Amino acid sequence: MPTSPSDIISPQKMVVEVPFARWRTPITEGLPDIIFQVTAPTWEVIDLKDLDERATEPKFLLSPFNAQVLEGGSQMASTTIFQLNGPFLAQEVNVITLAEDTELSKPSLPSPQVAQYLGLLPDDNADAAIRYQSLVKEAITAIGSGHYSKIVCSHRIDYRIGPKAPSDKQNDQEVDRHSMPLADWDLVWQQVFLKLERLYPSAFVSMVWHPDFGRWITATPEVLLRQTTEGITHHFTTVSLAGTRPASIPPADPWGTKELGEQAHVTDFIKHRLADLHDAKGRPANIEVNIDGPFSHQAGPVSHLQTVLTWSVPKDSPVKVGQILTALHPTSATSGSPKEEALEFLSRNEGYNRELYAGYLGPSDGQQLRTYVNLRTMKVNQDTVSLYVGAGITIGSDPASEWAETLNKALTLLRPLVQTLSANGLELKLI
């Protein structure tokens, strides 16, 4: 936590291409509307089993979807994560000044169909749509064989950033992205971050930079693990978030069988993983889990089915936070079920590296830990932007409907991204 007014973050003083994490936790969790930031010379690689031994250090945790080969050829183990150590600097959102452009407040991209018409999302006959629906068909066939109950298939939507097409008033004002200094690009991405922060109060909004992965901006609705400590007791919360439909459908309307089944798969996965936890001597943890849900939870242009799972353990419990994170990640909401078999299917068939997408991230300050699944996320730089989206596939899935679901999810990021770039004289072009 900040200790003096000098700890205030200035948007104009943001560190460029130095390891940092910047975030705002969901306001709906009862926390103040404050943006935090930590900057350090390097991301440290630690084993999750050591996380509890250093619980009092303020840190930001970052984990990719699965083990990665890092710069220089080193291989991450599946039980290691990155952490950025240092004091948390803070700023109340209401003291942030952001130059507004009238375009930022205009409604735009009300549906995937409008975005497709404008060339901002692949159309239903594009190669990307054909590839993804083919992957979904393979997943449905694999599920039908009886070896899987669910597989989460994802894809990446890639864009190049260019100057806006000139209008009558703008013939001499085109922006050359290559001539913009890094500081200007840094300000553009800060504006995107702040736009997301204002649009999605119930999301965990973050921006991180890592030398092996680059800069990522996220507005995720999904909790992986929250831990708070009261006296001699640790309190834990995790969330099963699965089953998606457009947010325009009234919350009181019944959910479909496919979505209810998808939600049940993820909730059962979490319950079984927690029930299987043992201490170092092989003794069961005997965690008693309270379950609330499922119920509708809106996340931007889509709604999900959500179930909240909570439990408490003594502070001296032999089962540690690192063990719980290892047991939960990746959840079946981002991989499938059974998990190991689904991960193998994705490794063979998905066709790209998810990197930080569907990993997890979040702060720990010695009093509480808050980690979130890295969904609704994009990787950004001066030339390109990549959006990452996916959908849970079950035996009842329809490939065209799953494709449409991923486009709806993409709008969470695409709307504020297009508006902010436009206000800076830039536009997106599908690659």
pLDDT in tens, 281-298: 777 888 899 999 999 998
Specify the 3-state DSSP secondary structure of 246.
Answer: strand
pLDDT at residue 46 is higher than 90:
no
pLDDT at residue 171 is higher than 80:
no
Q: Average pLDDT for residues 220-249, to the nearest whole number?
A: 90
Contacts from 64-73 at CB under 8 Å and sequence distance 24+?
64/213, 64/354, 64/355, 64/356, 64/359, 65/330, 65/334, 65/354, 65/355, 65/356, 65/357, 65/358, 65/359, 66/330, 66/343, 66/354, 68/212, 68/353, 68/355, 70/212, 71/211, 71/212
pLDDT at residue 105 is higher than 60:
no
Please indicate, yes or no, whether the overall pTM of this predicted structure exceeds 0.85: yes
pLDDT at residue 1 is higher than 50:
no
pLDDT, averaged across the chain = 84
67-76, 154-163, 180-189, 418-427: which is most confident:
154-163
pLDDT band of 12, cuts 50, 70, 90: very low
pLDDT band of 15, cuts 50, 70, 90: very low
Q: Give per-residue pLDDT as tens, 413-424.
A: 998 999 999 988
Q: Give per-residue pLDDT as tens, 371-392.
A: 999 999 999 987 899 999 999 9
Q: Average pLDDT for residues 140-163, to the nearest whole number?
A: 94
pLDDT band of 98, cuts 50, 70, 90: very low
- Give dist(CA 422, CA 289) in Å, integer: 48
Tokens of 151: 């597989």
pLDDT at 387: 97
pLDDT band of 156, cuts 50, 70, 90: very high
CATH class in words for 5-94+118-430: alpha beta
pLDDT at 69: 57
pLDDT band of 29, cuts 50, 70, 90: low
pLDDT at 18: 84
List the chain domain ranges.
Answer: 5-94+118-430
SS (H, E, C) 360-411: EEEEECCCEEEEEECCCEEEECCCEEEEEEEEEECCCCCHHHHHHHHHHHHH
pLDDT at residue 257 is higher than 50:
yes
pLDDT at residue 78 is higher than 80:
no
pLDDT at 9: 39
